């Protein structure tokens, strides 16, 4: 496995559409836009507060990872990730989360990166824990997911001093 991050490109469209069509992604981390083309257009509008990368295995698209709500004043950001169903369980999310967290600390100068996931999504909990993100607590009925229901979430975070 040779996991890296790169720009999302139009050639990723077919794989992005598979990601968008995945029932788990639609439930736990829906992608804005109805098609891969619309999603790519929205990504082109990312600004200083949001950045998305393709997760690549030897250059091949296997998912996406984003820093959002980047706050340079308070030096914090949120992170979210999606991995193709065929690539799950291989450590792809864990590797990508480590790379993005290092970028957040070393390049952006952030001090805290946090992530939320539904308690009903234990795979994301494992990725967070394996990436050194401490569980800080449970936020009750914090977010309405793809099925339109509010879910309790875990809040995990990593500080630059946790290294």
More confident residue, 47 or 143: 143
If you average pLDDT over residues 80-94, what whole number do you get? 92
Nearest to 133 by CA among 86, 101, 92, 103: 101
pLDDT at 35 over 80: no
**Mean pLDDT score of the chain:** 91
pLDDT at 59: 87
pLDDT at 33: 67
Q: How does pLDDT run across 2-16, given as a tens digit for each residue?
A: 999 999 988 998 998
Q: How does pLDDT run across 134-148, given as a tens digit for each residue?
A: 999 999 999 999 999
pLDDT at 55 over 70: yes
If you average pLDDT over residues 78-91, what whole number do you get? 92
Angle between helices 13-21 and 36-43 in degrees, nearest 10: 110
pLDDT at 86: 92
pLDDT at 45: 67
User: For residues 33 and 41, is the Cβ–Cβ distance under 8 A?
Assistant: yes
User: For residues 64 and 43, is the Cβ–Cβ distance under 8 A?
Assistant: no
Q: Which residues, 6+ apart, have CB-to-CB distance to 73 below 8 Å?
A: none
The SS3 call for residue 89 is: coil
If you average pLDDT over residues 72-83, what whole number do you get? 96
Confidence of residue 106 (pLDDT cuts 50, 70, 90): very high
Confidence of residue 122 (pLDDT cuts 50, 70, 90): very high
Mean pLDDT check: name the lowest of 29-33, 37-41, 129-133: 29-33
Q: How many CA atoms lie within 13 A of 99 on its CB side?
A: 21
pLDDT at 78: 97
Rounded Cα distance, 153 and 51, in Å = 23
């Amino acid at each position: 496995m040779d996991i890296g991050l790169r720009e999302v490109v139009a050639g990723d469209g077919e794989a992005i559409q598979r990601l968008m069509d995945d029932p788990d992604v639609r439930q736990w981390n829906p992608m804005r836009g109805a098609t891969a083309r619309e999603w790519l257009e929205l990504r082109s509008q990312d600004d200083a507060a949001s950045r998305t990368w393709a997760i690549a295995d030897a250059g091949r698209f296997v998912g996406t990872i984003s820093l959002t709500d980047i706050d340079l004043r308070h030096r914090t950001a949120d992170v979210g990730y999606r991995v193709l169903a065929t690539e799950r369980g291989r450590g792809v999310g864990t590797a990508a989360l480590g790379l993005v967290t290092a970028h957040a600390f070393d390049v952006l100068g952030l001090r805290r990166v946090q992530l939320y996931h539904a308690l009903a999504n234990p795979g994301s909990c494992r990725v967070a824990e394996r990436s050194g993100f401490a569980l800080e607590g449970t936020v009750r009925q914090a977010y309405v997911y793809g099925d339109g229901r509010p879910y309790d979430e875990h809040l995990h975070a990593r500080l630059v001093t946790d290294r």
